[in-house]
Every structure is written in C-alpha cells, then in structure tokens.
Amino acid sequence: MNSLFSPAHRQSLVISLTAFFTSLLLIALVSVLVLISFRGGAYFWPEPIYDVTYKDAVGSEYGAINNTSDTNEADNGNKKPQTSIKDRKNRENKENRIFAQLYITDEAERIYQVHYADDQSPYGAQMQLAEADVINMELAHNSAEIKTIDGRFVLGQPQFLTTPDSRRQDLSHFADIQSRVTALSSQIEKIRSERLSPIHESLASLDGKGVNRNAPARKRLETQFERWQHDVIHFEQERDEYELRITFANAQEYSIRVSEIKSIDYVSQLSYFEKWQVVFNRVATFLTDSPKQANTSGGVFPALFGTVLMVFLMTIIVTPFGVLAAIYLSEYAPDTPFTTAIRISVSNMAGVPSIVYGVFGLGFFVYTLGGNIDAFFFADKLPAPTMGTPGVFWASLTMAILTLPVVIVATEEGLRRVPEGLKRGSYALGATKVETIVKTILPIASPGIMTGVILAIARAAGEVAPLMLVGAVKFAPTLPIDGEFPYLHLERQFMHLGVLIYDGAFHSSTDAKNSSMMFAACLLLLMVVFVLNVLAVILRTRLRKRYLQG
C-alpha cells in the first residue's frame, strides 16, 4: 500500500481531487453566466422570419399550445434554415401556411418551437412543430416584425397604407404618415389636457358648491365640453383611419392602425450590421420603457429605477447605523459576556432567512409604525392608509435591517485591522477618542466598510421574497418619483428587477426553455450587481492603497 501511494503520489492525488472540485465550481459559475447572458442577449436579437407550410397533424401531440405573444428567443445552433421535405407530403391532411420565427429544436426529435402569426392569431402564438410535419420552409424576405405600442408583435408582410380619403399609399410614405398620425395624437392630447380637464374640474367644483343642475353656467360648460369632446372623437376617427395593410403567409389580409405601431423591422433582410442596430434600439427600449403585456414585453425601466432607488435608500440608512454599531462594539463596548452575546447574535443575524425580515418589516414597520404614523399625521385621510401600507421606504428599511449584520461584521473587521501603533500615535498627539476615530481609525477602516456596503448592496439588489411583503409589486402604475410635490414619494409601491424576474418565471406559460424578458431582466440584474461590485472593488483598492502601509 505504502509503495502504491508514496508521499509524492498522495500529494498529487490531493491536488487533483481539490482541483477537480474547484473546476466543478468554475464550470457551474461559467454555465450560469453563459446561460443568462446567452438567453438574455437572445431576447434582443432579431430573428429572421420564415414562410412555413406545414400539414396540420390533427390530433397530433404538437398542437398550438398557447396564445401569449412571446418574443424573440434564439438558439445559435439552430439558426440555419431547414429545407423542405416534400417527399413526405401527406395529401390527406390540411396544409397551413404561416410566418414564423423558429427557436429551439429538440435535437433528438427534431421539433421546433415556433412563434408564428396568421389570420387566426394575428398578434402571435406559439406552438411546437415537428420537422416531419413541415412541407416547405423558406426565408420570407418581405415580411416584417411589426411591434405595437402596447408591446405586442405581428409577423406579416406589409402591403400598403390607407389614409382617411381611402387612398392607397406606398409603403415608402410610412414615416410621413406616421408623423401625421403623431401630430393628430398630440393634438388630441392637447385638447384633453388643456380644454377637457379644466372644464371637467370646473364642473366638479360646481358640483361641490351644489349648483343647480340647470344653472346657466353649468349648461354653458357642458356644451363647451361636448364641443371639444366632439373634436376629439373626430380627430380620433381620422387618426384611426390611417392603417397599415398586411398579408399573412396564407394571403389573408389584416389591418393595423398606424397609431398603434411602434416599429417595423424587416428582420429577414437585415444585414449583420443592421441587426446590431436593431439590437441596440431594443436594448434602449428595454432600459427606458415600462413593461407591457403583463411583464412579458416592453421595458424594465420602472423596475430598474425601483431597484436602484431602494438600494440607494437602503445604503443611506444602513451605512451610518452599521458603522456606528461596529464602532461601539469594537471601540467602546466593554468586554463582558453581554457584549460577547451581542457580537455572536449580530453575526448570526446574517444567517436568518430573509423572509423572516420580510414578515418583520410587514408586521412592525408597515402595520405598527406606519399605522401609528397614519394615526398621528395623516388622520384626515384614514381609513385610506398613507404610510401604513407597503412602500419603498419600508422596503428600504427592511433591507437595511437585513443587511445590517453584514455591514457591522465587515466594519468591525476593518476596525480590527487598524494598527495599534497608529491609534497610540494619534492619542499621543493630543487627540481625543472621537478625534482619533474620525481622523485615523475610520479612514483606515474605510476599505472594510466599503466591503460591507458592497455585500449589502449586492444582497439587497437580488433579494425578492421579503421585498414582496413590504412594497415591491409586479406592476406599479407610478414611479416613486414624479413632478408632484414632494417629488419623492417614499410611501408608494415600487417595481423591482428581482420581483419582475420571479413574476416572469411563473408567468411564462411556455416551457422555461423558450422564455423571454425574464432572462433579459436577469442579465440586467446580473450586470447591475456586477457593475456595483466592480465600482466598489476599484474604490476599495484605491482606499486601501491610500490608507494602508505599503
């Protein structure tokens, strides 16, 4: 035995064993990154549209499975067009022709996941299609992905435009017509905001004063209102008569209002460079737009904003608290069993499941604290709660409590690293304890404090469960910030990237393989956390260089 495993052998065995597990870890890490960036990135990639003829295998196991308008998803390995299999054509079955984008193929069974549109479901549907059922498939050069304002997609071949005088216009006039439509829309909006709402308000105030139904003032306002209302209807009708006529693969016609169109991308004829332009535009939309179609389309701006705001507020709250607590524990607190108990419980608090903090936040902050604030300061608005309801402030506070141990532990670690000689040097120059802490100890401990804050930020940015209890929602109609006094509305509910992803994961009724905005949001969250970390590491190294003896 000994001869078999000489010390050298044994050592190499240990090395290969440890190396094996390290590489497993690396593989796991890399595959997470690759999966998320690949699927997330694919959300933005314009997929070509194919004109697919297939036989409708009645009673086949691969029927249309749902009607959600899911969007782009790609699998690099399966981008090449599959050619026809005419010889297997079966005359007995009905043939269907659709415009479709093809996604993942089940390699073994040759099944496509397709996102298609036809006259039955113009706004897109999904189904699985076996390669065996495909009769013909070719790139549809003239078809386009038409995106609507409300976040849906139509795959179709644009034919011509119609105008209110029911004349046909060539497609080349699209930009022209679109700007005309936009002008109409803004005119309508202007009448609404400048004419209709003031009249509405005056009427409401007359109501409040209890003015007679038939008072002349009221009558006059009402006729005015009707006149403007009439204009609005007129303009709307005119606007809605600008339409884009498209045809589907089976030559059926369909019309889309120009006012509803956001973009038209001829994805099948884009060059590589143009595809990147499309990607760029979609990323911009993704970052600036609000979610559409129940968080499966559109953008994530409110969630991004909510995440950043919540994390920012949390940092403002947790940093001073954590640092002060750590200073007390390491510089002032006497060494008694009691303080030892506190120290131990602080480090254990970091391991408490986050949902516990969520429940605590809901029970204590929202109901107890918020309820009391309402009772004292917003009594006039009760029973409608102001602070006694989940909101971004309570969420930040809850996350601050949740991350407090992390900050305390890291700061204490940083404080412990301050050389005793420097403290004594400071005292020897006549500094008091407070002066020594502020001028010498804290700057030197700042890299440690930074580390704690970063960890806290990363944790808070990725947390979901407790946030859903104390203020994060799937959809918030308003941002917590707006132009209305006091501009920052800390009592409002907010959207959060983590919650959006969570929602997306439950929501996508297709299999998770072919999902959507969830992955893109995931990628974004990953990038937010990554950027924050990189920033912090840079800051920390700079602080370290500056404050530690080199």
Residues that bind other proteins (CB under 8 A): 334, 419, 421-432, 435, 439-440, 443-444, 546-550
Of 68 and 440, which CB lies nearer to other proteins in the complex structure? 440
Distant-in-sequence, close-in-space partners of 76: CB < 8 Å, separation ≥ 6: 38
In DSSP notation, 129-175 reads EEGGGEEEEEE-TT-EEEEETTS-EEEEEEEEEE-TT--EE-GGGHH
Cα 196 from chain centroid?
35
Q: How many of the other CB atoms lie within 10 Å of CB of 292?
A: 19
Radius of gyration of the chain (CA): 31
For 147, list phi and psi in degrees, rounded to 5. -100, 135
| Smallest distance from other proteins to CB 331, Å | 11
Query: With helix as H, strand as E and coil as C, how does 301-352 read?
Result: HHHHHHHHHHHHHHHHHHHHHHHHHHHHHHHHCCCCHHHHHHHHHHHHHCCC
Of 444 and 528, which CB lies nearer to other proteins in the complex structure? 444
Strand partners, 247: 157, 253
Query: With helix as H, strand as E and coil as C, how does 26-76 read?
Result: HHHHHHHHHHHHHHHHHCCCCCCCEEEEEECCCCCCCCEEECCCCCCCCCH
| Smallest distance from other proteins to CB 441, Å | 11
- Identify the residue whose tokens are 């193929």: 105
| Smallest distance from other proteins to CB 445, Å | 11
Of 61 and 420, which CB lies nearer to other proteins in the complex structure? 420
Q: Report CA-CA distances (Å) from 144 to 139, 141, 243, 399.
A: 11, 8, 16, 46
Of 26 and 429, which CB lies nearer to other proteins in the complex structure? 429
Q: Report CA-CA distances (Å) from 534 to 215, 306, 350.
A: 68, 21, 23
Of 8 and 428, which CB lies nearer to other proteins in the complex structure? 428
| Smallest distance from other proteins to CB 550, Å | 6
What is the sign of the dihedral through the CA atoms of 283, 480, 152 and 235? Answer: negative
Of 11 and 340, which CB lies nearer to other proteins in the complex structure? 340
Q: Are residues 491 and 366 in contact, defined by beta-carbon separation less than 8 angstroms?
A: no
Q: Are residues 366 and 358 in contact, defined by beta-carbon separation less than 8 angstroms?
A: no
- As a whole number of angstroms, the distance between CA 264 and CA 246 comes to 12
| Smallest distance from other proteins to CB 442, Å | 12
Of 62 and 427, which CB lies nearer to other proteins in the complex structure? 427
Of 81 and 419, which CB lies nearer to other proteins in the complex structure? 419
- As a whole number of angstroms, the distance between CA 307 and CA 288 comes to 14
Of 79 and 439, which CB lies nearer to other proteins in the complex structure? 439
| Smallest distance from other proteins to CB 451, Å | 18
| Smallest distance from other proteins to CB 457, Å | 26
Of 334 and 483, which CB lies nearer to other proteins in the complex structure? 334
| Smallest distance from other proteins to CB 535, Å | 22
| Smallest distance from other proteins to CB 433, Å | 9
For 2, list phi and psi in degrees, rounded to 5. -60, -35
| Smallest distance from other proteins to CB 421, Å | 4
Of 26 and 548, which CB lies nearer to other proteins in the complex structure? 548
Q: How many of the other CB atoms lie within 10 Å of CB of 22?
A: 10
| Smallest distance from other proteins to CB 404, Å | 28
Helix H or strand E encompassing 296: none
